[in-house]
Structure 1
Amino acid sequence: MLQLYSYFRSSASYRVRIALNLKGLPFEYVPVHLLKDGGQQHTAEYQRINPAELVPTLVDDGQAIGQSLAIMEYLDETRPELPALLPRDALGRARVRALAQAIACEIHPLNNLRVLQYLEKDLKLDETTKATWYRHWITVGFTAVEALLANNPHTGAFCHGDTPGLADCCLIPQIANSRRFETPLDAFPTIRRIETACLALDAFVKAAPALQPDAV
């Protein structure tokens, strides 16, 4: 069985949980708590699995794969008979990858846990200033994503057409994080509409942070 090293609140892990559910793949959930014990991702045991000390890590037949986007594409490539996360056509795949990367490579890295910890512990920013930083980069990123979605005829019920895929796997966790930090989302009606469509599906509901075994 596939193993997923995951932290319930990690948006990158959340993406992969959704992808696994969309493809109907059972997996063993292996919790890696990013705050307990000084951060369990820093242990020597976990470093042997993922030297970057990040989650998620997928282990398939003894082979460890890091980085959420790489994991999701790997699942598509190795299980092509299951529901696809990427479209069949090259332009469609490029569009979905661009949307996914706009979130995973532009928004998320500025707001992930180790960046927030650095802002707090090393730069001595208070909670209010840290939250302002977070909301700023969410707003900048979502403004671009909203435009990409709202102005493209390939946007359907989901980010690309009427079937959820890779871009939706990235979007929903980022929205969840945005709501945690009370980021106003009124300016993003297309994003919010897609969120509603996604959260009507079991694959997204079951992947939610609050339902994971390590949720605290």
Structure 2
Amino acid sequence: MKLRLHTRYQNSAGQRVRIVLNLKRLPYEYVAIPSLSSEAYRKLNPQGLMPALEIGGRVVAQSMAIIELLEELFPEPGIFPSDPFLRAEARSFAQLIAADLHPINNNRVRRYLADVVGVDERQVRAWYHHWVKQAFSGLETQLERQPARFPYCFGDRPGLADACLVPQMDNARRFDCDLAHYPRLVAVDAECRKLEAFTLAAPAMQPDYPGA
């Protein structure tokens, strides 16, 4: 079953899918999207957002839906802990990033604030820092409250939560967010970056990265 991932190097949602594909050791074709205004891409994915996965002649949009499909079709190795409560914690952690933080901080929202609302660059950055602080504080506390200390978010091997965290840490660093208050997030992020599944999914490793 051929997998084609339509995305762009600097796309957090696409990066989390790439990480999961790598963790599951699934080969795929990387299809770079030059622009979201591309008529051809809109025809492929009417939602018009990244990423989209072509698989078995069908197209699935939205990173979390794609990841759930990959887990169902290719369950081994799994991306969830075996304990049902930890599985729920992992989903909770991932959803805070994917559903609450990332959507209100992404490029189209920041452009709207600047181009339509008329917010200046300093205010846009303050907006970004505010929401990252809100989310990361909650995520840090969630990891601190775990009864066991794991090298990754919720276990001895990385999974969905880690795949969502690492791209968001990239974004936070890109916008100069202060990460000193989140030692658990920083530690997990550092562990993940030792693994090929994460390094190969990084923006700079993609074929459309400038200068690649």
Common topology (TM > 0.5): yes
Query: Of 169, 193, 207, which aligns to 1:199?
Result: 193
Q: Please tell me whether residue 67 in structure 1 is matched to residue 68 in structure 2.
A: no
Tell me the equivalent position of 1:182: 176
CA distance in 1, matches of 2:149, 2:9: 29
CA distance in 1, matches of 2:69, 2:98: 16
Tell me the equivalent position of 1:146: 140
1:41 alignment partner, SS class: coil
CA distance in 2, matches of 1:14, 1:172: 9
TM-score, normalised with respect to structure 1: 0.94
Cα distance, 1:154 vs. partner? 4.7
CA distance in 1, matches of 2:82, 2:180: 33
Cα distance, 1:155 vs. partner? 4.8
Q: Please tell me whether residue 54 in structure 1 is matched to residue 49 in structure 2.
A: yes
Q: How does 1:39-188 map to 2 (within 5 A)?
A: 40-80=35-75, 82-188=76-182
Q: In structure 2, do the counterparts of structure 1 residues 187 and 212 end up closer, same or farther at CA, with 3 Å as the change threshold? A: same
2:177 alignment partner, SS class: coil
2:6 touches 2:30 (CA, 8 Å); kept in 1? yes
Aligned length: 209
Aligned residue type for 2:12 = S
Aligned residue type for 1:4 = L
Tell me the equivalent position of 1:4: 5
Cα distance, 1:49 vs. partner? 1.5
TM-score, normalised with respect to structure 2: 0.95
Q: Which runs of 4+ in 1 moved over 6 A?
A: none
Q: In structure 2, do the counterparts of structure 1 residues 166 and 154 end up closer, same or farther at CA, with 3 Å as the change threshold? A: farther
Structure 2 residues not aligned, in runs of 5+:
none
Bigger CA drift: 62-71 or 43-52? 43-52
Aligned residue type for 1:116 = R
CA distance in 1, matches of 2:22, 2:124: 33
* Aligned residues with identical type, % of pairs: 43
2:81 touches 2:155 (CA, 8 Å); kept in 1? no
Aligned residue type for 2:47 = A
Structure 1 residues not aligned, in runs of 5+:
34-39
Tell me the equivalent position of 1:19: 20
CA distance in 1, matches of 2:110, 2:33: 18
